Homo-oligomer: A and B are copies of this chain.
Amino acid sequence: MKYNFGAGPCILPQDVFQEASEAVKDFNGLSILEVSHRHKDFVAVMDEATDLVKKALNVPNGYSVIFLQGGASLGFSISALNMMRDSKRASYINTGTWSKKAMTEAKKAGYEVLEAASSSDTNFNYIPKNVSVDSNSDYLHFTSNNTIFGTQFKEIPQSPLPLVCDMSSDIFSREINVADFDLIYAGAQKNMGPAGTTLYIVKDEALGKSTSSFMPTYLDLKTHAEKDSMFNTPPVFPVYASMLNLRHLIANGGVKAAQDRNEAKAALLYSEIDQNPLFEGTVAKEDRSNMNVTFLMNDEARAEEFNAIWQENNLVGLKGHRSVGGYRASMYNALPIESVKVLVDVMKHFSSKG
């Protein structure tokens, strides 16, 4: 038994592993790996996965749910290309690594990119609140949760512009109002499923309106919305495993219940970080992520000792990203609160030894 705090690809429910493993051996008489994507049994999987996304997030009418490939890294380009209108200016809130990559791809797509807000002044350890939006921009883009710096938007930014959001690392972890957005995109490999598929939720009104002179067929969301994610061969197994995970989410109370569990886990760990004299959080309290908890140890001399102890206790994936250092505990939907208790106990025990 390992306690997997990895930042992603990350823990999913054990039931999903069991069912996915079984389908690799037997899915209606074949392996799920050898089933044609045009077979009715897989068409039913794609339809169910799509419907489960709509159910989990209360996606209103007038939005399409699409499963693609390429991760958020391709999503940066897809979102920019599809949202291009007359101004060819785009506003981005810069909360660090992922926002910056999104801005780079918007520039490559031909935009003048405006920084509507930024927390670069203190190494992105907070969410900027004062957003100055250029009213002529085609859209406002933000990254809802920041895996590296451990920050998370608690309120969506107010803006008259169409909102575009990279929700890769916290989609399905809390309730959202899809109607607030023109486009949401998210790599699967946190709360949706294994690596290999990318979710798009797009307002139908926004489809087919791009003014980009460059639009490969695969990058045009209209292509995929019209073909129900079956324009070309989809990533069959990642979509199947995502469907299993979404079934599990719904069966366990849906997004609201997941949010409650995530808030309880976050409260437990942040409380320990704040109480324990050996540790300190890196992020402004009101902007702390419930998904990725970043913290430092105050006594560098004891770092090796601490690393040895959490590894001995079967904790996995706690090393902080090099941009922040210290530790990062990622606590996605599937991480049980028991794992957080083990971590907290290790921290308490370590502190008491000091």
Query: Interface on A for B, CB 8 Å cutoff?
Result: 2, 4, 6-12, 16-18, 20-22, 24-25, 29-31, 33-37, 39, 69-74, 76-77, 101, 104-105, 108-110, 187, 189, 193-197, 214-219, 231-238, 241, 316-317
Contact = CB atoms under 8 A, between A and B. Distances in A.
A9 B233 contact: yes
B236 A196 contact: yes
B4 A216 contact: no
Q: Which of A24, A104, A110 has its CB near the most chain B CB atoms (within 10 A)? A: A24
Contact of A70 (B4, B10, B218, B317): B218
A69 B6 contact: no
A218 B77 contact: yes
Contact of A33 (B17, B36, B72, B214): B17
A-B pairs with lowest CB-CB distance, top 8: A196-B235, A69-B69, A77-B216, A73-B232, A21-B24, A33-B194, A17-B31, A214-B214
A8 B10 CA distance: 29
A326 B160 CA distance: 56
A214 B25 contact: no
B11 A235 contact: no
Contacts of A21: 21-22, 24-25
Nearest to A6: B36
13 contacts: A4-B30, A6-B36, A9-B34, A17-B31, A37-B195, A69-B196, A70-B70, A70-B74, A71-B233, A73-B217, A108-B215, A189-B233, A189-B236
A179 to B, nearest CB: 29
A34 B105 CA distance: 28
Contacts of A193: 33
A31 B6 CA distance: 13
A30 to B, nearest CB: 6
Nearest to A77: B216
Given A12-B31, A21-B21, A216 B37 contact: no
A76 B217 CA distance: 10
Nearest to A332: B34
Residue of A6, A31, A197 with highest tally of chain B CB at under 10 A:
A31
B18 A33 contact: no
A20 B30 contact: no
B31 A24 contact: no
B69 A71 contact: yes
A17 B9 contact: no
Given A36-B317, A195-B235, 10 more contacts: A6-B35, A6-B36, A9-B35, A21-B21, A33-B241, A69-B196, A72-B232, A77-B218, A195-B237, A196-B236
